[in-house]
């Protein structure tokens, strides 16, 4: 019994460590390279929305604005995510699409830092 418990705990530690390592690895959002220079200028509350290490920006395939602070965004994995953040801006985007700055979360989703919706959407 003790041996089984040790094996189970070892597997759990390996899984948690693997999740933490994945979350800390560099992340490049699909489509980032097309607008890299624009993303470098984006800031919210004096901090960069894109740090080129753990969080990155990219266009989204589709979106639904939620006026109370966020948006639903369709990302590269063809799943909808609720992007809740106070850092939502209506701007002239380079391609007329919505863009989000995010990083993968350990739960399989994303943590969102900034949302940029095309000006004139509201």
DSSP code for 46:
T
Q: Where do the H-state alpha helices sit in the chain?
A: 2-24, 36-40
> Which residues are CB-neighbours of 43 under 8 A, at least 6 positions away?
49
23 or 74: which carries more pLDDT confidence? 74
CATH for 27-118 (2.40.50, 3.40.50, 2.60.40, 1.10.3470): 2.40.50
Q: Where are the domains of the chain?
A: 27-118
Report yes or no on whether pTM surpasses 0.75.
no
Q: What is the 3-state secondary structure (H, E, C) of 85-102?
A: CCCEEEECCCCCCCEEEE
User: Is residue 50 a contact partner of residue 57, using CB atoms and an 8 Å limit?
Assistant: yes
Region of 30 on the Ramachandran plot (φ > 0 left; ψ -120 to 50 alpha; else beta): beta
Query: Cα separation of 28 and 98, whole Å?
Result: 17
Residue 12 has pLDDT above 60, yes or no: no
| Beta strand 47-48 pairing with 43-44 | antiparallel
> Which pLDDT band holds residue 14 (cuts at 50, 70, 90)?
very low
111 or 19: which carries more pLDDT confidence? 111
pLDDT in tens, 25-78: 576 777 777 888 888 888 888 888 887 677 788 999 899 888 776 788 888 788
> Which pLDDT band holds residue 20 (cuts at 50, 70, 90)?
very low
């Amino acid at each position: 019994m003790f041996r089984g418990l040790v094996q189970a705990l070892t597997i759990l530690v390996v899984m948690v460590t693997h999740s933490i390592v994945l979350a800390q690895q560099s992340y490049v959002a699909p489509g980032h390279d097309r607008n890299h220079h624009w993303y470098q200028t984006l800031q919210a509350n004096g901090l960069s929305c894109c740090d080129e290490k753990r969080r990155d920006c990219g266009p989204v395939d589709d979106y639904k604005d939620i006026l109370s602070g966020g948006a639903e965004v369709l990302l590269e994995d063809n799943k909808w995510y609720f992007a809740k953040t106070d850092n939502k801006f209506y701007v002239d985007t380079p391609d007329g699409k919505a863009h989000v700055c995010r990083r993968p979360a350990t739960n399989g989703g994303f943590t969102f830092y900034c949302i940029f919706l095309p000006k004139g959407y509201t």
